[in-house]
Structure formats: structure tokens, C-alpha cells
Amino acid sequence: RINGQRLWDSLMELAQIGATAKGGVKRLALTDLDKQGRDLVVRWGREAGMSITVDQIGNVFMRREGLNNALPPVMTGSHIDTQPTGGKFDGNYGVLAGLEVVRTLNDLNIRTEAPIEVAFWTNEEGSRFVPVMMGSGVFCGAFTLETAYAARDTEGKSVGEELERIGYKGDQVPGDHPIGAYFETHIEQGPVLEDADKVIGVVPAVMGLSWYDCVVKGMEAHAGPTPMGLRKDALQVATRIMQQVVAIADRYPPYGRGTVGMVQVFPNSRNVIPGEVKFSIDLRNVNDELLNTMHEEMLAYIEQTRKDSGLEISIERVSYYPPCPFHADCVDAVRKATARLGYSTMDVVSGAGHDAIYTARLAPSGMIFVPCKDGISHNEIEDAKAEHLEAGCNVLLHAMLERARI
Amino acid sequence: RINGQRLWDSLMELAQIGATAKGGVKRLALTDLDKQGRDLVVRWGREAGMSITVDQIGNVFMRREGLNNALPPVMTGSHIDTQPTGGKFDGNYGVLAGLEVVRTLNDLNIRTEAPIEVAFWTNEEGSRFVPVMMGSGVFCGAFTLETAYAARDTEGKSVGEELERIGYKGDQVPGDHPIGAYFETHIEQGPVLEDADKVIGVVPAVMGLSWYDCVVKGMEAHAGPTPMGLRKDALQVATRIMQQVVAIADRYPPYGRGTVGMVQVFPNSRNVIPGEVKFSIDLRNVNDELLNTMHEEMLAYIEQTRKDSGLEISIERVSYYPPCPFHADCVDAVRKATARLGYSTMDVVSGAGHDAIYTARLAPSGMIFVPCKDGISHNEIEDAKAEHLEAGCNVLLHAMLERARI
Ligand SMILES: NC(=O)NCCC(=O)O
Ligand SMILES: NC(=O)NCCC(=O)O
């Protein structure tokens, strides 16, 4: 069993770097604070006897040798960058749980057959630089190093420059690094475990995701003198589509998701009928066929609305990640470890993307969820219980040991 | 009959002050450009033999003496400030039509019993400083001079300072200025005349208006991991109210109006369920009882939505202007002048507020509308036909002469 107090203390110490007044953390990717966080975790890794490798996109691998170092490592990890108004646990927990596994193996003098590695991936959050999950995405070849280097923040600073500046542009070619199996512990970022009062979420898969930008064009006109029948009110038409996004998701329980998160109205003046409304659509499902059905239903509704309203409506898909089922071996390892340890458990499909969906393209991968308070993350009030974090870390220890063999 | 070409030429000359690339005008209240515009109109007034009075809120009265100067003047006017992306005609037409009436009387050597005055009111648009219709509002005592002086633009400059700076803080106490009758010519700012192919709109009344701020509070949460049934999506609830605003207006034709023009979503991120949505509501009707019914129906719907959704919804009325019926004598004067001149005509209730609703509190008032292209105003593409502007000015001449007596 791991040392829950030590895990908690490390989480709290790391959370001081970029701590916010409201109890959260602001440690954006490749900032000075990210460098401080990276340096601290690397120091802890070295103190635990691990060797460090950094690749060209700044992914860091901390390695504990095995008895048979020809075997590919059993890896765990996550990210330590945060949202602008982020919490202490998102990502950080996955990295420090890995560190705690190694510290525990050291304490107990356990040698594994395969090496063990703890990784942290660059810019998972995507808040400062798009796309999200950048480090693991480059690692698995989803996009090129050049694309990633060229990404710029709102001040015009590029990933390439910033990596160099903070000293984390390593030598290793991304992906040129074998993985035997990959596990990632993470807070759930949703309310399902808490709602069902379970401690461990076994994650069979991550939902697929489609992101769209939709623009409705009407005609701006004065709110007073323009009779109702002569209006081309872009907002009224847009709100119908916004409601349909949720209606479509509701037709595909339990894993259909539909969200409109971002809305811009032009000219956005109290007494002007909106001439243009731009908004985002986020559709998810764990089943790619159903996700595609949802996509088709949305396009059909928009086509119908275009006809009914006579307004110009454009819709563009801006991102697509297919659903990612995790490898049966890894899912089973997590399930068995949970049973052995006697924790209450249920399967929880991940609604959010994680670095593990990219490692899954290269090696058997799996995830372990623990509850977070009210299901809230990407928020300074994000919170989790020490006992749940400890339980998740114990499951990680046992799952990794099963794969790495003692 | 007035000189249509001279009226048009003056409009085009004034429109050069603050002319925009897209053919519009940006001449915000109390800016250097507003001063230039005011100076030009005052010069034209002087050249037409008028004397100038400026009151403490910067309203300018240009006076042509009558045969009996004990009689209160028959006044016309409007405003020369514009929207940030305004047009050449909104307001400016009303002022220059008045000037053209005086020039015509001079040409024809016509003396009136009562004096004739041409006014332009400060900050009608309310774009730089709120409230709208500031000069006429102070003039009729709707709010105090101190309130108006204290209004500040986004840079922190106050109305009091800016009036002083451009040299238009006059001596006369606002309202200390008799009015016998007031006429205002204006582009319709709506599509009704154009749609019906009529030249002159006789304006029996201005609609009453209620403005509200509505805030729906839900709970922000991650768009992926949060099941549809556990969401408190503020936007989905807000869109129901937004649609109801239009549904309510549709229930009260022909003069019910309902518009949501301004929307802000928090945190406005693609993969975050909106935790808060703030939006404006604009309800109008020419009948105060019906306006009140619309108000009550909206409150009832919000109350019901509060219960159905369990979300917190606040609604606050931020402005209210009662409907303003114009004086029968002035409406008749406009109607008779139109008939005498043989223009095609119809009654058009004004959906937009105008300075005339404030003068109506002090003296018999009336308005004359002419068509504008596609009903569009508050837009750089605002346009109107010279022949229509000429027609409206002829009607103004005849209506004023009826009241001022030759
Ligand atoms: N974990 C996480 O927030 N990933 C970002 C992409 C998503 O919205 O799922
Ligand atoms: N004429 C005009 O645009 N007035 C502003 C107030 C309103 O929205 O009616």
C-alpha cells in the first residue's frame, strides 16, 4: 500500500507553485511557473532514484530501472500544466500518484521485471496553446513537432521559443521511446462516482468528440420600429439550434452529450435585433456510430432550420476525436486491483479527453478515476478527498505491478 | 415648397464631419467632431438670420422672430449626434429640415405670427453617455442637470467637462424656454413605409418601452463528463426565455415588440457548460395596458421557468418609458399638410424613442416620418431618397405654418 499522507503532502507542495487566492492553481503550460513545477517534480524523481529523459516537445520521462531493462517500461503519468482558473488535482494527481508508486516500491525494496516510468506530458490543457494534449499528441504522431512548435499564445510567443526558454526542449525524438503499458489516474471531472457513492472508477473507454462552429446570419435592425413579421433575428434562430443540440444528446442516453458553451452576438446592443450569432457545439458519445448519428441529426436540423427561417446558417467541424476504448488487459488489471483492494467501484466512461487516448494508439492503456467534489474541475474550487486519492494510487500500484511483474 | 436640393446639399455637407469609409457618420455626442457639426449648423442658422441660445445641457435653439414675439415659438428640431456606426440622416435630417423651412420662409419673405425655432438636442443617441435623449430629458425635467453632468463615457470623461471643453455649456436654465408646439421630422428607422410604398408617415404616438436585465445562474461543469441529467445549464434555460420574449410580442400584434439584443455567457468556453447567462430584454407596445400585460406575462413565464428548471433567475427592469400619444392638434396639422400636398401617406406608430416624447410633456408635439432604405438605421448603410426627404420637409413647413400662422 502507498503512503497517502506523503502523496497528499506532495500534491499540496506542488499546488503552491501558481497558487491562487481562491485556493486553486494557475500554472499555464511553458510559463515560468510551469518550469518551477517541472523542476520540483524532476527533483523529486531524482531523489527517488529515477533517471530523467526529456523529448523535443518537452515531455518528461522519469525511469526506475527493472530487472530486465530490455522490456518496455510500464508507464504512468499525466500532466502538471493547469487551466487559468484550475485546481490542485487535475493532471497533477496522475503524475504524483506515479511518483508515490515509485517511492513505495523503494520503501518496500520491490524490484520489478520491467522498468517503471512516470511521465508528464506537455500542455495537456490547451489553454495557452492549442491543440490540447499537445505533448502526447506529438508523441503518438497525431500531429507534427513543427505544428506544435508553431502554436502561439495570445501574446504571440510560440511553443518552440517557450520550451527553449524554460529549458525543457529535450533531445529525444518524440515517440522514440517504447511503452509496454500505460496507466493514468485522474480525478473524474464529473459527478458520476460521487453520485453513486463509489471510490474507484474503472474506465473502459473515452468518449469521442466533435466540435463545431455555427454561424447564423440575419439582418440587424432597430428593435422598436421593426415589426415582428419583418425581422431576420439571428438569435431567435440560433436558440432553436442551441436547444436542439441538447435534445439530440438526450435522445442517446446514457453517453450522448451535447453542449453549447460559447456564444457571441453581433452587434450585441440592447435595442438592435441581432444580425449575427456565432456559437460552439460540442457533441460526444462513446459509440462512434451513435456520435455520427448525432452529427447527422444536427446537420439535418440545421438544414431544416435554414429552410424554415430563410436565414444563412453555416456549420463547420473544427475538431474530431474518435471514441477510444482502452485495452482489455489494462482495464482488467485495474478491475482486478480494485477488487483485490476491496474498494467500491463502477465503470465510468470518460467524457473528457486525456493523454491516455494518445498513448492508447501506441500501447495498451487504461485509466483509473477517483471522485472529485461535486464533479467540478477546471475551477479553482476543484477538490478531492485524500482517502480517494490514496485509493486510486493503491489501485495504480497494483495494476502496474501486475503488468511489470515482480 | 422648400428647396429639396439645398436640403440635400446641407445634409451631405454636414455628413462630411465624421464621415466613415463605409459612407456613414461617426460623430459622437460632445466630441470634437460634434463641436464641428454644431458650429456648422449654428453658422448656417446665423446666416439664415436666426439668433442662438444655448442652455446648460448644450441644447441649441435657433430663433427666427415672429410678428408677435410674446407668443411661444413653434419649434422643430432633432439631434446631430450619431451612433458610432451611424448614418447621415438619423437626427440630422430633422435639424436641417428645420433650417430649410426657415431658409424657405426667408426666400419667400414670409413672416409668421409666432416665432419659429430650430433646436438640436444634446446626446440623443446615448451611445457615448447614458441615458439616451439626454438634452430633451433634462429640458423637460425627466432627470436633473446634475445627473446628466455626472454621466461618463468609457474613458471616464463626464458630460459636464466635455460640454465645457467644446464650448457648448450655455447659460439658459434647461426648460426655461417656452414652446408653443413642437414638430420633429425623422427617418422612420423601420420598414413599414417602404413596405407599404408610402412617402409620409403620420405619427400618432411613440411606443412605450420596458428594458430589463435577466440573469440565469446554473452551475458550470465540464461538457464531457457531466451527464445530461445532472446538468444545470444556464444557457439552455436562458434560450427558453429568449424565445418567450418573441412569443409574447407575437401575441400582441401589430404593436407588440420583443427583442433580446445582448447576450453574455460565462465562462464562454467551448467545453464548459455555461454557469451563468446575462441578457437584455426589450419589450414595447403603443398601448400601456398591453405593455403591462406583456410585462406580466414575461414575469409569469420566468417564475414558471424558475420552478421548472430549479435554476436561479433574476430579472430587473432598467428603463421604462410609457407610450407617448402625440397631441391631436399636431397630428392633425401633419395629416392636413400631407393631404394638401398630395403625398401618399399612412399612420406609423414610432417604435423608437425620440426627443419629441420629452417635448410632448411640455407642449403639443407631433412627428413626421419619411421612409429609409430597407428600414435600416443605426448603421453606416442607412439611406434615404432625396425626394422623400424633400416631401417630409414640405409637410413640416406647412404644419409649422398652420401653427405659427402667417
Ligand atoms: N480533460 C480535459 O479537460 N480535456 C480537454 C478536452 C475535452 O474537452 O475533453
Ligand atoms: N431613435 C432611437 O434610436 N432611440 C433610442 C431609444 C430606442 O431604442 O427607442
User: What does the radius of gyration of chain A's CA atoms come to, in whole angstroms?
Assistant: 23
Count CB-CB contacts under 10 A for residue A62.
26
Name the DSSP class of A229.
Answer: G
- Give the pLDDT score at B406: 86
Per-residue CA distances from A168 to A41, A121, B260 (Å): 13, 11, 50
Q: Lowest mean pLDDT of A372-386, B65-79, B276-290, name the range.
A: A372-386
Are the beta carbons of A226 and B280 separated by less than 8 Å?
Answer: no
- How does residue B195 score in pLDDT terms, banded at 50, 70 and 90? very high
The ranges of chain A with pLDDT < 70 are none
- Give the pLDDT score at B227: 95
A163 to chain B, closest Cα gap in Å: 26
Q: How far is the CA of A80 from the centre of ligand 2 (A)?
A: 52
**% of chain B residues with pLDDT over 90:** 96
Contact B353, B321 (CB under 8 A): yes
B95 to chain A, closest Cα gap in Å: 21
B65 to chain A, closest Cα gap in Å: 36
Q: Which residue in the block uniquely carries the three cell numbers 491562487?
A: A20
Are the beta carbons of B222 and A378 separated by less than 8 Å?
Answer: yes
Which DSSP string do the residues of A275-286 spell out, in sequence order? SEEEEEEEEEES
Q: Which residue in the block uniquely carries the three cell numbers 451535447?
A: A258
Which residue's C-alpha comes closest to atom 5 of ligand 1?
A: A353
Are the beta carbons of B228 and A250 separated by less than 8 Å?
Answer: yes
Number of residue pairs across A and B with CB atoms under 8 Å? 193
- How does residue B378 score in pLDDT terms, banded at 50, 70 and 90? confident
With a 6 A CB cut-off, is A177 part of the ligand 1 pocket? no
Q: Which ligand is nearest to the CA of A132?
A: 1
Exposed/middle/buried for residue B171 (C-beta within 10 Å: 0-12, 13-18, 19+): exposed
- Give the pLDDT score at A351: 97
- Give the pLDDT score at B85: 85
Q: How far is the CA of B354 from the centre of ligand 2 (A)?
A: 7
Each residue's pLDDT tens digit, B107-116: 999 999 999 9
Closest ligand 2 atom number to CA of residue B209? 9
Looking at residues B148-156, what average pLDDT do you find?
Answer: 94
- Give the pLDDT score at B175: 97
Average pLDDT, chain B: 97
With a 6 A CB cut-off, is A94 part of the ligand 1 pocket? no
Reported in sequence order, the residue ranges of B167-262 that DSSP labels E, i.e. its strands, are 181-187, 200-203, 205-206, 208-217, 221-222, 257-259
CA closest to B255 among chain A residues: A227
Q: How far is the CA of A178 from the centre of ligand 2 (A)?
A: 68
Q: How far is the CA of A314 from the centre of ligand 1 (A)?
A: 25
Whether the ω angle into residue B131 lies within 30 degrees of 0, i.e. cis, is yes
Give residues (CB < 6 A) around ligand 2. Answer: A 224, 271; B 132, 352-354
Name the DSSP class of B166.
Answer: H
Q: Percent helix, strand, coil in chain A (nearest 5)?
A: 35, 25, 40
Q: How far is the CA of B209 from the centre of ligand 2 (A)?
A: 10
- How does residue B154 score in pLDDT terms, banded at 50, 70 and 90? confident
| pTM of the shown model | 0.91
B224 to chain A, closest Cα gap in Å: 4
With a 6 A CB cut-off, is A367 part of the ligand 1 pocket? no
Q: Which three cell numbers stand for residue A24?
A: 486553486
Are the beta carbons of A271 and B282 separated by less than 8 Å?
Answer: yes
Q: Which ligand is nearest to the CA of A190?
A: 1
Q: Measured between alpha carbons, how far is A283 from A289 in angstroms, rounded to an integer?
A: 13
Q: Measured between alpha carbons, how far is B151 from B130 in angstroms, rounded to an integer?
A: 7
| Identity of the residue numbered A6 | R
- Give the pLDDT score at B335: 98
Looking at residues B233-244, what average pLDDT do you find?
Answer: 98
